A and B are shown apart, each in its own frame.
Chain A
């Protein structure tokens, strides 16, 4: 990994080449991620179409308050992330650290809200299986299969994001970055925005559609 003394990895000829390569690398990785979540979204759409009634009933059980709160938190964190990237381009690394820490705190807040919501869901017997609240209607359990799979995989991505953001904060504190070399922060930003966008799709699918039908 390149550091402050030697930011250019040996396989590259120039810093711009390295920056472009890692940016393209992250985009390609995100394409891969889209296909990963895509499999889940496809399954969700197929079953929503097949069993509209059961899915509408089930989605009324999710807690729109938690969902909306988390949407707000994640959107704000995207803003702070964007500001961190912007500041890194300006070479303002003190500000970069502030924004990165803000992003991390928001991410932790997101997970906290999620934990509260999961606890409530458990108490309401919304976890599929023998303990499920309405065991007589298996198709609402299908909805909750998707709910748990989608939100937990998303939360896993948030946790990985926190790891990346922390690494960026530490490296920034160690002066690894400069106005010429800051592209790891930009790459982390790309990843973080992706995590945000996945949630932007999850929120309506799980909390909003057919809520009042």
Chain B
């Protein structure tokens, strides 16, 4: 990547027109530019995130008291359903792939756009229509099934607006499929000359694996929800035990999608963290091939472990054992990644800018989330802790501690590229640290509470759990500040932030070779890749203070 230096100079001296230059509403709503679609996604998911966060805020206040009087039971049930559905399908799954991935992938591989720009726009519209249905289902009264929609409760017994919400999720599913499809083809067919598979940045490897899951798992969710909806409409169906149907089959099909979906959420974060570790240690990622291979391994083995959600569902004990052993095995590639990131630090030149703090936070929280995953894979312990707060804490460590920390890290890292502005670094670091502390404060007590036997989705609970709930709510308020801060200072930076140079981090990667923000077609000339990624040589060593403080 020797041509980086001159390229940077030409761009900064003569700014090309940026993808943001057109300002009409029409130019945004009819755009096929992957960058603009990425920005549209970014705005949308932040909106859904805030709605879902308000829902959980109310729940945490309610849980301060064992017999909280703020909410009716039904209202509480509707809130956690809303929180789950919005966070899973409308924030976590599209967060890194659809928002950051859409923006970064084509630039990172040196392409002008994704392979199918119109499908890309269509996928955003499907996403918004799906989200519209979910919000509508809430406005007309809400849904009380939990995000898992277990039959026969969802198909027969719940008298809330299940169909509307399920329809929203169904439609959003097609948005996922189209996005995944686009990424797979883009990465396969549109890499710049010289960018061989093993010269791809690890972010691309992880999103490639994610996309495979999106394309192969999401349709199973679609057909499952469709069957459930049919059963609800006609009052007869294949999950209904009164007809010889099997409600457990729904769980198998549901988790066949939803377990891989966990990897849809966390694999992209792992990709971001690999990028960040390289950029802020000024080194190539240790064991590049192993980290790349681990992504693919997680995606493949991740398809075979869904049954570990069902150890107490009355599936056969031998099926339970097979799923248990596979779940232990899927921990190995995750471990490989963590070990390699640690080894990357060795002999690095480490700086602690905001994205790096998020990345280190990710490793810490993901390690705890992963290790507690072993508790859940361990059959006998799972029997005790499944469907308790232990599980709640575990998957929040993975999805919030892992996926959201990665998303925040990536958002800060690429913020100058996306907006052309620098965010205030001191506030960034503060928010990252507050988030990390608030997160642990919120969710660590839940592990203890879970092992003590506090079941999840409980609105009234036994008084001995109260102390942990109070701790958790206190932590949640800190966590709330940690999330609110970036919303404020990032919006502030759009107007008042310093103009960003093309490569504020002095990072490798094609995305830093074009201007910030990039021109409409990303590159004036198609870049040519001549070496491996993360080629940080001595020349790259920036001043100790870093450019952001200059």
Q: Please tell me whether chains A and B touch each other in their complex, using a CB distance cut-off of 8 A.
A: yes
Residues of A within 8 A of B (CB): 1, 9-13, 17, 20-22, 24-25, 28-29, 31-33, 35-40, 42-43, 46-47, 50-51, 54, 128-129, 138-139, 141-142, 145-146, 149
Query: Which residues of B sit under 8 angstroms from A51, Cβ to Cβ?
Result: 244
Chain A interface, >50% SS class: helix
Query: Which residues of B sit under 8 angstroms from A37, Cβ to Cβ?
Result: 223
Q: Does B189 sit at the interface, judged by CB under 8 A?
A: yes
CA distance A155 to B218 in the complex (A): 21
The 10 closest A-B pairs by CB, nearest first: A36-B219, A11-B113, A39-B223, A138-B243, A21-B189, A35-B219, A139-B244, A21-B115, A25-B185, A11-B112
Whole-angstrom distance between the Cβ of B117 and the nearest chain A Cβ:
6
Whole-angstrom distance between the Cβ of A29 and the nearest chain B Cβ:
6
A36 touches B113 (CB 8 A): no
**Which of B232-240, B306-314, B327-335, B337-345 lies at the interface with chain A?**
B232-240
Do A17 and B189 contact each other (CB < 8 Å), given the known contacts A31-B215, A32-B216? yes
CA distance A30 to B153 in the complex (A): 33
Interface range on chain B: under 10, 10 to 19, 20 to 34, or 35 or more? 35 or more
Do A32 and B118 contact each other (CB < 8 Å), given the known contacts A10-B113, A21-B189, A51-B244? no
Query: Which residues of A sit under 8 angstroms from B216, Cβ to Cβ?
Result: 31-32, 35
CA distance A22 to B118 in the complex (A): 13
Whole-angstrom distance between the Cβ of A196 and the nearest chain B Cβ:
19
* Partner of B185 from A28, A46, A47, A145 at Cβ < 8 Å: A28
Residues of B within 8 A of A (CB): 106, 111-118, 177, 181, 184-185, 188-190, 215-220, 222-224, 226-227, 230, 234-238, 242-246, 249, 253, 521, 526
CA distance A20 to B191 in the complex (A): 13
Query: Which residues of B sit under 8 angstroms from A39, Cβ to Cβ?
Result: 219-220, 223-224, 227, 253
Whole-angstrom distance between the Cβ of A35 and the nearest chain B Cβ:
4
A11 touches B117 (CB 8 A): yes
CA distance A17 to B189 in the complex (A): 7
A25 touches B238 (CB 8 A): no
Whole-angstrom distance between the Cβ of B138 and the nearest chain A Cβ:
28
Query: Which residues of A sit under 8 angstroms from B237, Cβ to Cβ?
Result: 145
> Could you name 22 residue pairs across A and B whose Cβ atoms are closer than 8 Å?
A1-B118, A10-B112, A11-B106, A11-B112, A12-B190, A13-B526, A20-B189, A21-B115, A21-B188, A25-B116, A31-B216, A33-B219, A39-B219, A39-B253, A42-B253, A43-B227, A129-B234, A129-B236, A142-B243, A142-B244, A145-B230, A145-B238
Query: Which residues of B sit under 8 angstroms from A142, Cβ to Cβ?
Result: 238, 243-245
A10 touches B521 (CB 8 A): yes
